[in-house]
Chain A
């Protein structure tokens, strides 16, 4: 089945530094990837939609200059948290879609636990 790999699975960084998270589709080409954020004991909130070869579409309230998304190939999207602060500590999860196929399930990575000290 379709596999989405996310790396790293956890990262601890100091306040003010930047962190890059990778999301790869291992056995299919993902024209669209999605980045979600999950706070403890809460549900997933969509941050942005990443389209290969074009600019990402951000949800309302998400700072595009803080959460930089790059979808340079059909199998890789990256999320960079710039100048991270403790309030950015969260669980970040990506998902991938095999094109705009509405009857296909979305596949998720295992998430990245970010802790900013």
Chain B
């Protein structure tokens, strides 16, 4: 059974810092891995999608890496801003039906 774990559960940093969020999964047989952002009481915004054959994806200040063999992904946020404060979720796609297994999320607070 696929399980996804995110560490840390919460993180507070001063504005401008670079930071790394971690995601691990127990079964390396995945189709892809997706990072999402969720603001309080809102839905999910897709940030980055990494295919199982890829090692990393970049979008602006965000960089996500994937090491499928070790069951790990990281989301790197450069020069953090208060507007980055949110909960970040990673999810793995485990079948061709599109089913996603989510981690518990990391709640990030960036202090001005």
A residues touching B (Cβ–Cβ < 8 Å)? 6, 32, 34, 42-46, 49, 91, 93, 95, 97, 100, 102-103, 105-111, 113
B residues touching A (Cβ–Cβ < 8 Å)? 31-32, 34, 36, 41-46, 49, 51, 89, 91, 93, 96-105
Residues of A within 8 A of B99 (CB): 34, 46, 49
Q: Can you list 13 residue pairs at the A/B interface with Cβ under 8 Å?
A: A34-B98, A44-B91, A44-B100, A46-B100, A46-B101, A49-B97, A93-B44, A100-B97, A102-B93, A103-B51, A105-B49, A106-B98, A108-B45
With A93-B43, A111-B42 in contact, is A102–B102 under 8 Å at CB? Answer: no
| A27 CB, min distance to chain B CBs, angstroms | 15
How many pairs of residues, A versus B, come closer than 8 Å at their CB atoms? 62
Residues of A within 8 A of B49 (CB): 103, 105
B102 CB contact (under 8 Å) in A43, A49, A100, A105: A43
Q: Which of B31, B102, B103 has the most CB of A within 10 A?
A: B102
| A81 CB, min distance to chain B CBs, angstroms | 18
Contact, CB under 8 Å: B31 / A102? yes
Contact, CB under 8 Å: B97 / A110? no
Residues of A within 8 A of B45 (CB): 108
Decide if the interface of chain A is mainly helix, strand, loop or mixed: strand
With A42-B104, A49-B99, A97-B98 in contact, is A102–B32 under 8 Å at CB? Answer: yes
Residue of B nearest to A91 (CB): B41
| B50 CB, min distance to chain A CBs, angstroms | 10
Q: Which of A44, A45, A111 has the most CB of B within 10 A?
A: A44
The CA of A6 and the CA of B98, in the complex, are separated in Å by 19
| B77 CB, min distance to chain A CBs, angstroms | 19
| A105 CB, min distance to chain B CBs, angstroms | 4
Q: Which of A91, A97, A102 has the most CB of B within 10 A?
A: A102
Contact, CB under 8 Å: B89 / A110? no
| A1 CB, min distance to chain B CBs, angstroms | 9
Contact, CB under 8 Å: A107 / B46? yes
The CA of A94 and the CA of B45, in the complex, are separated in Å by 12
Residue of A nearest to B6 (CB): A43
Contact, CB under 8 Å: B93 / A108? no
